[in-house]
Amino acid sequence: MVALGLFALALANEEEARQWAEEYNAEAQVVWYDNVVASWNYNTNLTDYNQDESLKYSAIKAAFDRESGLTASSYDYENFEDQLLARQFRKIADIGEAVLSEEDFNRQSELRAEMQRIYSTAEACNKPGDDDPDKCYPLDPDLEQIMATSTDWDELKWAWESWRDVSGRLMPDMYEEYAGLLNKAADMNGYDDNGDYWRSWYEMETFAEECERIWQQLRPLYEQLHAYVLRKLKEVHADHIDEFPFTGHIPAHLLGNMWSQSWGNIEEFVRPAPEKPGLDVTEEMIRQGYTPLKMFELSEEFFTSLGLIPMTEKFWDDTMMVKPDDRDVVCHASAWDFYNQEDFRIKQCTEVSMSWLITTHHEMGHVEYFLQYKDLPVQYRDGGNPGFHEAIGDVLALSVSTPEHLEEIGLLPDFEDDPDGDLNFLMNQALAKIAFIPFGYLIDQWRWNVFSGETQKEDYNTDWWEMRCRYQGVAPPVGRLATDFDAGAKYHVPANTPYIRYFISHILQFQFHKAMCDAAGNTNPLHRCDVYRSEEAGTAIGDLMKLGSSVHWEEALEAMTGTTEMSAEPLVEYFGPLLEWLEEQNAGETIGWSNECPEGTIVP
């Protein structure tokens, strides 16, 4: 009888918990909405008033999360019969930085806001050769345009170096204090450090080892691409051949991107069949009078062609599609869920180009995810793991960037489908996907070392470049000071956005793509599959998105792909023809680079 009495008590406790969870969810939607609105207002208008309001509502949310976490912890949720409810309580009880005292929480919020303000308002001035000595250049679009289009070694070096001097260089003291507060919160929550906390989101004891396993699978493909690109860049910059390091590294300012993370802007120099047109349809978009609005409308039509949910009226009313002329904003593209089940937006400074067309599809993929799981409890309104959200954004872009799709929507009228054109397409994709993989891996490798204490402030820049040189095979074009903070010149570091999710997404998106192509009955090679207008493919991805984070991501992955494991095999299959071609082109050439940076990279 005693056992039956305890069982009845446990059930009563569980029913009470279920009722509390419903009340919590209703209140959380209000508190979280207010916090996101304040953050949106600040990110789209960088004023002191908006920063103060954002900090105020962030503190209110933290207090709410702290109180809710304590209440959730008072329930014996680990013994609930309803495992879905138990999982929800587990997430509510994990309150992250909200565990900090009010003083510490406010301080970490101030530090992050100030680093983001530095990043978003920084401008490089005193460009050699300028007629106007007072002319200055913001990152977006000016410095990024120089990096994307210039072939002048010295102009590229100026833009590359100047950006780091006016952004990251100002942050190391703030970042040291900020990382300390993150570690303090992690320790209070029972984790070894903040890196341990971030890795816990993947619900895998061996997550770090799994990442290394996948990187080793993909390293040979990256090495082949790197060797070929290095050789071609030496031809382009033959006048500066003596300035290429003997260690096999590529000077970081030559790859068409401020961070060397995506190499698509140098495609014309490495195109396998240079006599054939490339697949950048920017000029055709401009010729046809494309606008940012048209790009957003085209993106939505792709999603609805799969039977997925159209964007909401508020989305079209309140999304920031272009950079305003009258105020400073955070231009970094992002998608926003306001947690009230009806307000979803994108913030980006869109230009008319193919790369922005892809970005628009990516960000709208996030919004589609929001729409699919909007009716779940707030704690489940997230990706299966952090890499899922980024993979969903990218997987649709794999179809959008195919010649088949570009031809279908009238942006590639003269494409010739032959082996040379196929290699050109794959090279273009590799410059975006394969080139990114080590960069996506190394940023959090560096941050995990900072959080664990292995990397101290005096070694921030030295260890940052050690990672860049070892994993990416790139080196700074000028000596950098050990006291610099070049990691802070990448948005996600001052914004405290974990980055390993992008590495994971580059694996998952190809698994998702293969599953969608199979559902669509695709008969083309994987890299030429376009799932446009396939409701079967839409159902496959839609069913995964509806789950949010309500189940372990392995369960969601298995339901869609048939396996619980992250696998690089679909990615390798996708790029198989290009890898074979690269190996032929690189026969007899040196493959790889020294793990150590070139001498003089870091100046004491």
Catalytic positions: 363, 492
Judge whether 18 is annotated as a binding position. Answer: no
Q: How far apart are CA 395 and CA 362, in angstroms?
A: 8
Listing DSSP states for 305-352 in one string gives HTT-PPPPHHHHHH-B-S--SSS----S-EEEE-SSSS-EEEE----S
Question: Between the CA of residue 68 and those of 74, 108, 109, 515, what are the distances in Å?
Answer: 10, 21, 20, 39
Judge whether 366 is annotated as a binding position. Answer: yes
Q: How far apart are CA 510 and CA 526, in angstroms?
A: 9
Listing DSSP states for 82-142 in one string gives -HHHHHHHHHHH--GGGGS-HHHHHHHHHHHHHHHHHHHH-EEE--TT-S-TT-EEEIIII
Q: Which are the contacts of 313, defined by CB distance < 8 A and separation ≥ 6?
A: none
Question: Between the CA of residue 389 and those of 14, 323, 355, 368, 592, what are the distances in Å?
Answer: 31, 25, 19, 10, 32
CA terminus-to-terminus distance, the chain: 75
What's the distance, CA 11 to chain centroid?
A: 43
CA dihedral of residues 337, 342, 343, 346 (deg, nearest 10): 70
What is the DSSP pairing of strand 344-347 with strand 334-337?
A: antiparallel
Question: Between the CA of residue 392 and those of 146, 163, 289, what are the distances in Å?
Answer: 30, 31, 29
Judge whether 271 is annotated as a binding position. Answer: no
Whether the CB-CB separation of 574 and 425 falls below 8 Å is answered with no
Angle between the N-to-C axes of helices 354-373 and 292-305, in degrees from 0 to 180, rounded to the nearest 10:
50
Q: Running DSSP on this structure, what letter comes out for residue 426?
A: H
Residue 602 backbone phi and psi in degrees, to 5: -110, 125
Judge whether 202 is annotated as a binding position. Answer: yes
Q: How far apart are CA 467 and CA 586, in angstroms?
A: 25
E strand spans, 197-285? 250-251
Judge whether 390 is annotated as a binding position. Answer: yes
Tokens at 79, concatenated: 């013994």
Q: What residues form the annotated binding site for chloride?
A: 202, 501
Q: What residues form the annotated binding site?
A: 202, 362, 366, 390, 501
Q: What residues form the annotated binding site for Zn(2+)?
A: 362, 366, 390
